[in-house]
Amino acid sequence: MQQKKMTLKGLAQILGVHPSTVGRVMDPATRHMVGDEVVQRVLKEAARHGYRPNKLAAAMRTGQSKLVGVMLPDITNPVFPPIVLGIEDELRKHGYLVLMSNAGEDKDQQRFVVDQLLARQVDALILATATRDDPVITRCLEAGVAVVTVNRSEDGARVSSVVNDEAQGMRQSVDHLVALGHRRIVHLVGPQHLSTGHLRREGFLQALAAHGLADAPCLVDCPSYTREAGRAACDEALVRYPDATAILAGNDLVALGCYDSLRARGLRCPEDVSIIGHNDMPFVDAVHPALTTVRIGHHDMGVQAAQLILRSLADGTAGVLEVRLKPALVVRASTGACRA
């Protein structure tokens, strides 16, 4: 047990060859430079000692850590794990490892985390924490590291991003409700400093306009994407718009908060009020009533983000790109014909 860590030099000494020869053998790309017989001897000895190249040392020498940092606002939010999975799946294929870090929503804390990641010499950063005007991205740009945002984007579009087509999701939702006869539809407006919150709001208004329902739109602020905020916003919506028959929640967590609110008031969904969420996060088909929501391909989003970052790593001059995934409305039991 507890074998002493074997190095190139150690192996070379045992084999009576030069360390650089061993090094050449260990790298498949340079192995051909070494004689067959020596290659065999080296490989055998390396295996015998469980030799594992020290990637830190390699990183130091080559200036490439083969590490990509991923910063998340909150990994317990179910939309992020599939994104991370997608990122990992794709990057692993290319020899990169992910340094994941939860940083919360606070920009100072995020800056701290980015500094930690940069100190570890990550080759690139994928940020799921972007705000519409993001000082952390400025910091990354100053540091000269490749950056991509995922799920959210900046207004300035200084960096490439992979996002959901929010306008389309809202359009599908509104179309669905209007087809069911709804006319008074409330949108619980998500955080406006996030692209998702902002674009869903815009998309909602555009979709209403397309149906000629744009005068006096029903909007209620929901300052964070949480169940608690959703409950409070729904409470307010029911008071401010008593004639509303449908609620378009900022996301699924907010929609679950609406369920809490309705339940507390003895209102039924969808008989009294129809509800639509956003994200189709896991298990919203198992809640009661099963939630109608906008499905986003989160795993794919992660894969795309990884590809963008690989692209910018391969070509430092590659331009800024926005990859926009198309969502799909998943109709379940929380939406029904308009009452009365």
Partner DNA sequence: CTGAAAGCGCTTACAG
Interface pick for its own copies out of 47, 216, 239, 286 (rule CB under 8 A): 286
Question: Should residue 275 be labelled a site residue for its own copies when binding is judged by CB under 8 A?
Answer: no
With beta carbons less than 8 A apart as the criterion, state whether 318 and 224 touch. no
Q: How many other β-carbons are positioned within 10 Å of the β-carbon of residue 185?
A: 25
Chain residues in the site for DNA (CB under 7 A): 5, 7-9, 17-21, 23-24, 26-27, 30, 32-38, 51, 53-54, 57-58, 60-63
Question: Should residue 259 be labelled a site residue for its own copies when binding is judged by CB under 8 A?
Answer: yes
Query: Cα Rg for the chain, rounded, in angstroms?
Result: 26
Residue 142 binding result from its own copies, DNA, none, given CB thresholds of 5 to 8 Å by partner type:
its own copies
Three-state DSSP string of 291-314: CEEEECCHHHHHHHHHHHHHHHHH
Question: Should residue 43 be labelled a site residue for its own copies when binding is judged by CB under 8 A?
Answer: no
Binding window for its own copies (CB under 8 A); candidates: 20-28, 84-92, 127-135, 193-201: 84-92
DSSP character string of 142-175: HHT-EEEEESS--SS--SEEEEE-HHHHHHHHHH
Question: Should residue 264 be labelled a site residue for its own copies when binding is judged by CB under 8 A?
Answer: no
Interface pick for its own copies out of 35, 48, 143, 268 (rule CB under 8 A): 143
DSSP reduced 3-state for 3? coil
User: Count of residues for the chain?
Assistant: 340
Q: How many other β-carbons are positioned within 10 Å of the β-carbon of residue 66?
A: 17
Q: What are phi and psi of 71, to 5 degrees?
A: -110, 125
Question: Should residue 81 be labelled a site residue for its own copies when binding is judged by CB under 8 A?
Answer: yes
Helix (H) or strand (E) holding 82: helix 80-93
Question: Should residue 325 be labelled a site residue for its own copies when binding is judged by CB under 8 A?
Answer: no
The side-by-side arrangement of strands in the sheet containing 185-189 is 218-221, 185-189, 246-248, 274-276
Binding window for its own copies (CB under 8 A); candidates: 7-15, 26-34, 140-148, 166-174: 140-148
Minimum gap (Å) between residue 280 Cβ and its own copies:
13
Q: Which residues pair with 69 in a beta bridge?
A: 99, 125
Residue with Cβ nearer its own copies (88 or 235): 88
Size of the site for its own copies (CB under 8 A): 51
Binding window for its own copies (CB under 8 A); candidates: 139-147, 168-176, 184-192, 234-242: 139-147
Binding site for its own copies (CB under 8 A): 1-3, 5, 50, 52-57, 59-60, 65, 67, 75-76, 78, 80-82, 84-85, 88, 97-102, 115-121, 141-144, 256, 259-260, 282-284, 286-289
